[in-house]
Amino acid sequence: MVNTRKTPVFTMLIYLRLLSESFNFAINALKNNKLRTFLSLLGVTIGIFSIIAVLAAVDSLEREIKGSLSSLDNSTIILMRFKFGPTDVPSWKREQFPDVSYDEYQYLQRNMLDIEAISFSMNVPRETLKAGDKTITGVAILPITEGYYNIEALEFEKGRFFNESESVSGAPVVVLGNAIATNLFGDLDPMGKEVRLYGRRFEVIGVLEKEGANLFGNSKDEFVILPANVARRIYGDNNRSSFPQITIKPESNVDNAEFIAQVTQQLRSYRGLKPDEIDNFFVNQLQGFADLIDNITSQMNFIGLIISGFSLLVGGFGIANIMFVSVKERTNLIGIQKSLGAKNKFILFQFLFEAVILSVIGGLVGLFLVWLVSIGASTFTGEFEFVLSPWNMFVGTAVSAVIGLISGIIPAISASKLDPVEAIRTGM
């Protein structure tokens, strides 16, 4: 007696052969209808290109912004009369807020516990810098106190940062950004040499490591750093255009919320604010700024995906339409295949594979175009690196496959359920 039971291995081999033959039929159908295949690819390509371009652009923007802030700890707080994000305080009231002062910086330095570093800085206009017969106009000036060295990870190519004594006395010393030093002195060693700024002579005591350009265009390569007290003597303490700020980095083991509450209370006490009066300053935390960036990029992603989704929807409808046309054209062939013993699954997989292959190829072409655009954008801008991440590539391929599957499922089912006799008669 012959054992007619099919073993699991035998069944699996049958299904593998079924899938292989269905795949080959789908490939041949696509090759035999090149124009139709191209038009179907076009819709999916545009849709995938739109979605992945949006995702890659937003990811690259977020990476660039956070990279620019990477030298600062997220727990760092900045005291000033401006708010990083939205606020409930009306603009007319914010305009009345006083600037933070150098005296308040010293007060907090003396009275606050758990401070790892604190610095006072000012935002002043760009100036002209001279050294010998070389002149650079529009140089960004950064007046700060010595504590800034411990707040931001400054790396030196040569020399050092100014010390507390030089900071307090407002000594005529400067630290040059790498590009500034190169433009002024070329291959010469700038250490100990003099530069002229504000009509005064300053000694170069340090040169920063080359940082490179960033998204905000404020690379320290183009900065000149000097003691804040030099700028205070020039601009005064009541110059609203300099809008000073106090930057504080708490110790690593400190509870941030409690630390911010202590800073707020200390500054309120110094300014003599009554319990019923609102704070006339803002405590900005970099973590809050990072959260704001995450929120903005999430909204940008959401809006971009909705807009791009319409393009992909059109591409999906295009594939579905082409697949219905393909079923109609091959009705006779389907009838012949079924009359020769082809199962419904064989017909179903044949058309499903055709739809998915169409969509995936369109998606890969879209990814390739995004890759080309990313290279072009990075080369053209120079300062912004447009990155197509492996995750976005995976998302693009997966989405295109799903669109193909969804678009092809109804035409494939309709093809698999055709009666062989009616299919042959209809196709004749």
Segment 311-322 mean pLDDT: 74
**Residues 347-359 pLDDT 10s:** 777 777 777 777 7
pLDDT for residue 24:
64
pLDDT at 128 over 50: yes
Higher-confidence residue of 229 and 63: namely 229
pLDDT for 12 equals 61
* Domains of the chain, residue spans: 21-67+298-427, 98-280
What is the distance between the alpha carbons of residues 222 and 225, in angstroms, rounded to a whole number? Answer: 10
In the chain, the percentage of residues whose pLDDT exceeds 90 is: 28
- Cα 401 to Cα 44: distance, rounded to the nearest angstrom: 10
Range of weakest confidence among 90-94, 125-129, 215-219: 215-219
Residue 333 has pLDDT above 50, yes or no: yes
Q: State the Cα–Cα distance between residues 153 and 144, nearest whole angstrom.
A: 14
**Residue 358 contacts residue 44 (beta carbons within 8 Å):** yes
* Model confidence band, residue 1 (pLDDT cutoffs 50, 70, 90): very low
Tell me the percentage of the chain whose pLDDT exceeds 70.
Answer: 76
What pLDDT does 18 receive?
Answer: 54
For residue 175, give the amino acid letter: V
Which of 143, 154, 161 is CA-nearest to residue 211? 154
- Tell me what the mean pLDDT of segment 117-131 comes to: 92
| DSSP code, position 98 | P
Instruction: Tell me what pLDDT residue 33 has.
Output: 67
The arithmetic mean of pLDDT across residues 93-99, rounded, is 89
The two structure tokens encoding residue 54: 């949006």
Amino acid at 84: F
Per-residue pLDDT, 2: 47
Instruction: For the chain, give the mean pLDDT.
Output: 79
pLDDT band at 130 (very low <50, low <70, confident <90, very high): very high
316 vs 264, more confident: 264
pLDDT score, position 5: 52
Helices 331-339 and 344-381: crossing angle in degrees, nearest 10, is: 130
**Between residues 143 and 252, which one has the greater pLDDT?**
143
Does residue 26 surpass a pLDDT of 70?
no
359-411: pLDDT as tens digits: 787 788 888 888 888 777 767 765 556 777 777 777 777 877 888 788 778 87
- What lies within 8 Å, CB to CB, of 371 at 6+ separation is 388
315 pLDDT above the threshold of 50: yes
Query: Half-sphere exposure (CA, 13 Å, Cβ side) for 31?
Result: 6
Model confidence band, residue 292 (pLDDT cutoffs 50, 70, 90): low
297 or 278, greater pLDDT? 278
Using alpha carbons, select from 371, 353, 364, 359 the residue that is nearest to residue 401. 359
> Which of 117, 151, 145, 152 lies closest to 227, judged by CA?
145
For the ranges 9-18, 138-147, 301-310, the lowest mean pLDDT is seen at 9-18
DSSP conformation letters of 124-177: ---EEEEETTEEEEEEEEEEE-TTHHHHTT--EEEE----HHHHHHT-SEEEE-
Per-residue pLDDT tens over the stretch 153-201: 788 999 999 999 999 999 999 999 999 999 999 888 999 999 999 989 9
Angstrom distance (rounded) from CA 49 to CA 41 = 12
pLDDT of residue 382: 57
3-state helix, strand and coil shares in percent for the chain, rounded to the nearest 5: 60, 15, 25
| More confident call, 199 vs 13 | 199
Tell me if the pTM is above 0.85.
no
Q: How far apart are CA 285 and CA 265, in angstroms?
A: 16
Stretch 69-84: mean pLDDT: 76
Q: Are 29 and 330 a contacting pair, CB within 8 Å?
A: yes
Q: What pLDDT is recorded for position 20?
A: 63
Q: In the block, which residue shows the tokens 């009306």?
A: 90
* Least reliable range by pLDDT among 211-215, 295-299, 397-401: 211-215
